[in-house]
Amino acid sequence: MGNGFLSSFGLKRVAMASMVIDHIGSFLLRAMMDPYRIDGMLVVNQESPSALRWLMLGREICDILGAIAFPIFCFLVAEGFLHTRDRLRYGRQMLWFALLSEIPYNLAHYQTGFSLRLQNVMFTLACAILTMLLISKAEERWAEQKAMRWGMTVAAVAAGMVMAFLIRGEYVFLGPLAAALVYLLRNRGKLRIAGLAPLLIVSPWTVLAVPFLLCYNGQRGKGSKWFFYLFYPAHFLVFAALAAVIRG
């Protein structure tokens, strides 16, 4: 993709750091705000203590820096799909770790082991992989029939988006859509990054991921592919425990 200095593992580390910052705000700073809530509502006015204002500012900063993570993960899942030797196994692997991460995710977000409110982002990425798999099958099956190929590609993207919506993973249908667009733009060099544009609907700070993606050199780099898969559920358990300590 270019002569940048960030490999896929380098991008993954940037995304993980962003995710951790985001969750510091979501879990720890939010827990620190609990004493200021009245009947579950956070009331802020001119008489609010300065400590609360600093906590709110800190959380806002964490939200902004945390917006870097998901665009990079979307981009990398498309990259992984393009380079893996077994696309079905890649999807199954993501799904298994989504299931493994669900209880830690719920403990951190909802202080319970089970919730149907929203599921972890690995479910969204698994839906993205399935979407790209359907697109690739359509490209193979109707390689010589352009209209049919594009019609089935649109149908594949729609199916992936519906699945993500029903599963209710984080970013719901926007995740499969963005990953699919990056995949479809796979031969367009740095223009592939434009495929992430739908994520701007969630947060305009998504653009902060662009400079890092522009530094991508197209190389795998050095690192363990299992580290993120294990770090993801583990970090939720750590944040759930820390938030519980803060809440007392």
pLDDT band at 94 (very low <50, low <70, confident <90, very high): very high
Q: Could you read off the pLDDT of 134-149 as tens digits, one per residue?
A: 999 999 999 999 999 9
Strand segments (E) across the chain:
37-38, 41-42
Boundaries of domain holding 129: 8-16+67-233
User: Is residue 238 situated within a structural domain?
Assistant: no
Sequence-distant (≥ 6) Cβ neighbours of residue 171 within 8 angstroms: 70, 121, 124, 164, 199, 202
User: Is residue 57 situated within a structural domain?
Assistant: no
Domain count, the chain: 1
User: Is residue 33 situated within a structural domain?
Assistant: no
User: Is residue 226 situated within a structural domain?
Assistant: yes
User: Is residue 239 situated within a structural domain?
Assistant: no
Does the pLDDT at position 1 exceed 70?
no
pTM given for the model: 0.95
Question: What is the C-alpha to C-alpha distance for residues 6 and 10, in angstroms, rounded to an integer?
Answer: 5
pLDDT of residue 43: 75
**Which of 75, 39, 36 shows the shortest CA–CA distance to 56?**
36
User: Is residue 224 situated within a structural domain?
Assistant: yes
